[in-house]
Structure 1
Amino acid sequence: MYTGTILGWVGYVKVDGKTFKFLGNDGKVPVDQAVQKNLQITSTQSTFTLTAGSVDLTVNFLSPVEPDNLVNHSFPFSYLAVTATSNDGQSHSVQVYTDISAEWVTGNVSQIVSWSTSAGDMITHQAQLVDQTPFVEVGDRIQYGSVYYATSNTQGTTYQSGEDEVVRSQFVNNTTLLNTQDTQFRAVSDRWPVFGMAHDLGQVSSTSAPVVWSVGHVRDPAVEYIVQGGFQNRSLYFWSQYLNISDAISAFHDDYPPALMRANSFDQQVKRDAQAISNDYADLVALSIRQSFAASEITISKNGDGIFDTSDVLMFLKEISSDGDVSTVDVIFPTWPLYLYTSPALGKYTLLPLFEYQATGQYSNQWSIHDLGDRSYPKAVGHNDGKDEAMPVEECGNMLIMTLSYTQRTGDKSLISTYYSLLDQWAQFLITDSLIPANQLSTDNFARSLTNQTNLAIKGIIGIKAMSEIASLMGDGARSSNYSSIASSYVDQFMGLAMSSDSKHLTLNYGNETSWGLSYNLYADKLLGTNLFPDSLYQTQTSWYSNLVNEFGLPLDTRNTFTLSGWEIWTAAIVKSTSLRDHLIFSVHQYAANGNSDRPFTDWYDTKDGKSILFTARPVVGAHLAFLVLSNATDTTTTGSSSATPLGPTSGGGSSGSTGGSNNNNEGGSNSAANRVMASWFTLSIPFAFVVLGNMVMFAS
Structure 2
Amino acid sequence: MVFLGLLSLASFFFAFCQAAVTWNATPFNPSSIPLAVRTPYLSTWLPQGSGSALNAVWAQHWTGQTVGWAGFIKVDGTAYSFLGDPRISAPFQKATQKSMQFTSTQSVFVMSAGPVDLTVTFLSPVEPTDLTKQSFPFSYMALSVTATDGNSHSVQIYSDITAEWVAGDITLPVNWSTATGGTLVHQVQLQNQTVFAEATDRALYGSAFYATTSASGVTYQSGEDLVVRAQFVNNSVLLNTADTGFRPISERWPVFAFAHDLGKAVNSTPSTPVVVSVGHVRDPAISYIIAGGQLQDRSSYFWNQFSDISDAITSFTADYANALARNTKFDAQVQKDAVAISVDYAAIVALSIRQTMGAMEITISKNSDGSFNTTDVLVFMKEISSDGNINTVDVIFPAYPLLLYVNPLLAKYLLAGLFEYQATGQYPNKYSVHDLGASYPRAIGHNDGADEPMPVEESGNMLIMALAYAQKSGDNSQLTTYASLLDQWTQFLIADSLIPESQISTDDFAGSLANQTNLAIKGIVGIKAMAVIAGILGDTEKSQNYSTTAASYVTRWQTLATSPDQSHLTLSYGDSASWGLSYNLYADKLLKLNLFPNVVYQMQTNWYRGVQQSFGVPLDTRHTYTKSDWSIWTAAVMTDTNARDAFISAVKKTAANGLSSQPLGDWYETKDGKPEGFRARPVVGGHLALLALSSQTASPVNSSSSPSASAVDVPSGARNIAVPLPFSWLGQLLRRGSWSGLRFPGVLEPPQRSVSRIFVLHNSARIS
TM-score, normalization by structure 1: 0.91
Q: Report if the CA contact (8 A) 2:434-2:452 is conserved.
A: yes
Q: Which residue identity does 2:360 align to in structure 1?
A: S
Structure 1 contact 177–197 (Cα < 8 Å) conserved: yes
Q: Provide the C-alpha distance between the structure 2 equivalents of 1:482 and 1:649, rounded to a whole number of angstroms.
A: 44
1:156-212 deviation per Cα after TM superposition (whole angstroms, max 9, x unaligned): 111110111110000001100111110000000101110010000012012210000
Alignment partner of 1:80 is 2:154: no
- Deviations 1:435-472, CA, capped at 9 Å, x for gaps: 00000010000000000000000000000000000000
Question: How far apart are the structure 2 equivalents of 1:241 and 1:34?
Answer: 41
Q: Name the amino acid aligned to 1:301.
A: S
* Correspondence 1:205 to 2:279: no
2:475 corresponds to: 412
Q: Give CA-to-partner distance per residue, 1:595-640, whole Å, 9 cap, x none.
A: 111111011111111111111100000000000011399xxxxxx9
Q: Among 185, 188, 198, which residue is 1:127 paired with?
A: 188
Distance 1:643 1:410 in 2: 15
Q: Distance in 2 between matches of 1:393 and 1:648?
A: 38
Residue 641 of structure 1 and its aligned partner are, at CA, apart by: 6.4
Give yes or no for the alignment of 1:26 onto 2:76: no
Q: Counterpart of 1:20 in structure 2: which amino acid?
A: Y
Work out which of the residue numbers 59, 65, 74 in structure 2 matches 1:5: 65
In 1, Cα distance between the equivalents of 2:244 and 2:373? 39
Residue 376 of structure 2 is matched in structure 1 by: 312
1:239 to 303, 307, 322: 303
Equivalent in the alignment of 1:673? none
Q: Does 1:68 align with 2:132?
A: no
Distance 2:609 2:515 in 1: 25
Q: Distance in 2 between matches of 1:572 and 1:650?
A: 36
CA gap 1:45/1:432 in 2 versus in 1, 3 angstroms: same
Matched, 1:258 2:332: no
Give 1:73 shift.
0.6
Please say if residues 226 and 357 of structure 1, whose CA atoms lie closer than 8 Å, have aligned partners that are also in contact.
yes
1:225 deviation in Å? 0.2
**Quick check: 1:43–1:287 contact (8 Å CA) kept in 2?**
yes
- Per the alignment, residue 581 of structure 2 pairs with 518
| One-letter code aligned to 2:128 | P
**Whole-angstrom CA distance in 2 between matches of 1:336 and 1:650:** 23
Corresponding position: 1:352 with 2:416:
yes
Give deviations 1:24-64, integer Å, cap 9, x for gaps: 01133552111111111111100111100000011000011
Gaps of 5+ in 2: 1-60, 697-713, 721-743, 749-768
Match of 1:557 among 602, 620, 631: 620
Give the partner amino acid of 1:186. Answer: R
Say whether residues 1:389 and 2:389 are aligned partners: no
2:254 matched residue in structure 1: 193
Is residue 2:555 matched to residue 1:492? yes
Correspondence 1:517-666 to 2 at 5 A: 517-631=580-694, 642-645=716-719
Match for 1:127: what amino acid?
V
**What are the Cα deviations for residues 497-554 of structure 1, in whole angstroms up to 9, with x where unaligned?**
0011111000000011111000000000000000110000000000000011111111
How far the C-alpha of 1:155 sits from its partner, in A, is 0.6
Is 1:170 the counterpart of 2:227? The answer is no
Bigger Cα displacement from structure 2, 65-74 vs 22-31? 22-31
Retained in 1: the 8 A contact 2:172–2:249?
yes
Q: Contact conserved, 2:87 with 2:226, CA < 8 A, in 1?
A: no
Distance in 1 between residues matched to 2:716 and 2:205, nearest whole Å? 39
CA contact (8 A) 1:96 1:200 kept: yes
Please give the secondary structure, in 2, of the residue aligned with 1:574: coil
User: CA RMSD for the aligned pairs?
Assistant: 1.4
1:411 positional shift: 1.1
**1:81-230 paired onto structure 2 within 5 Å:** 81-203=142-264, 204-206=266-268, 207-229=270-292, 230=294
- Match among 323, 344, 353 for residue 387 of structure 2: 323
Against the structure 1 CA distance between its residues 648 and 198, is the aligned structure 2 distance closer, same or farther, given a 3 Å change threshold? Answer: farther
CA distance, structure 2, for counterparts of residue 12 and residue 643 of structure 1: 39
Conserved? CA contact 2:695–2:716, under 8 Å? no
| Total equivalences in the alignment | 644
Name the residue aligned to 1:16: 76
What residue in structure 2 maps to residue 686 of structure 1? none
Q: Which runs of 5+ in 1 are unaligned?
A: 634-639, 652-701
What code does the residue aligned with 1:258 have? Answer: N
Structure 1 residues 479, 648: CA separation in 2 closer, same or farther (over 3 Å shift)? closer
- Alignment partner, residue 365 of structure 2: 301
1: CA distance between counterparts of 2:154 and 2:164?
Answer: 32
- C-alpha distance in structure 2 between counterparts of 1:71 and 1:605, whole Å: 36
CA contact 2:364–2:373 (8 Å) conserved in 1? yes
2:487 aligned partner? 424
What is the Cα deviation at residue 15 of structure 1? 0.6
Q: Distance in 2 between matches of 1:482 and 1:450?
A: 29
Q: Is the 8 A contact 1:562 1:606 kept in 2?
A: yes
User: Are the aligned partners of 1:273 and 1:641 in contact in 2 as well (CA < 8 Å)?
Assistant: no
Matches of 2:206 and 2:103, distance apart in 1? 30
| Residue aligning to 2:428 | 364
Corresponding residue for 2:342? Answer: 278
Conserved? CA contact 1:573–1:626, under 8 Å: yes
Percent sequence identity is: 61
Contact 1:66 1:648 in 2 (8 A): no
Deviation at 1:650, TM superposition (A): 8.2
Q: Secondary structure at the match of 2:287?
A: strand
Equivalent AA in structure 2 for residue 116 of structure 1: S
Deviation at 1:323, TM superposition (A): 1.4
Work out which of the residue numbers 393, 397, 400 in structure 2 matches 1:336. 400
Q: Is the 8 A contact 1:259 1:648 kept in 2?
A: no
Query: 1:645: how far off?
Result: 3.0
Q: Which residue does 1:661 correspond to in 2?
A: none
Distance 1:116 1:332, change over 3 A: same
Distance 1:632 1:256 in 2: 29
Residues 303-345 of structure 1, C-alpha deviation per residue, up to 9 Å, x if partnerless? 0011100000000110011111000000000000011000000
Query: Residue 297 of structure 1: SS of its match in structure 2?
Result: strand
Q: Deviations over 1:239-294 (max 9, x none)?
A: 00001001000000111111100001000000000011001000000000000000
Distance 1:490 1:364 in 2: 28
Q: Distance in 2 between matches of 1:88 and 1:77?
A: 36
Which residue identity is paired with 2:350? A
Residue type of the partner of 1:15?
V
C-alpha distance in 1 between matches for 2:191 and 2:746? 35
Q: CA deviation at 1:642?
A: 4.6
Counterpart residue type for residue 155 of structure 2: V
Query: Structure 2 CA distance, aligned partners of 1:545 and 1:431?
Result: 30
Q: Which amino acid aligns with 1:504?
A: S
Counterpart-to-counterpart distance in 2, 1:202 and 1:52:
16
Write the distance in 2 (CA, Å) between the matches of 1:580 and 1:632. 22
Task: Between the two structures, name the one with larger relative contact order (CA 8 Å, sep ≥ 6).
Answer: 1
Is the CA contact (8 Å cut-off) linking 2:126 and 2:327 kept in structure 1?
yes
Secondary structure at the aligned position of 1:616 is classed as coil
Q: Which amino acid aligns with 1:449?
A: S
Secondary structure at 1:354's aligned position in 2? Answer: helix
Q: Is the 8 A contact 1:262 1:648 kept in 2?
A: no
Question: C-alpha distance in 2, partners of 1:573/1:649?
Answer: 33
User: Could you tell me how far apart the structure 1 residues matched to 2:538 and 2:88 are?
Assistant: 71
Distance 1:525 1:469 in 2: 12
Shift of the 648–59 alpha-carbon distance from structure 1 to 2, 3 Å rule, reads farther
Aligned partner of 2:539 among 468, 476, 496: 476
In structure 1, C-alpha distance between the alignment counterparts of 2:579 and 2:433, rounded to whole Å: 28
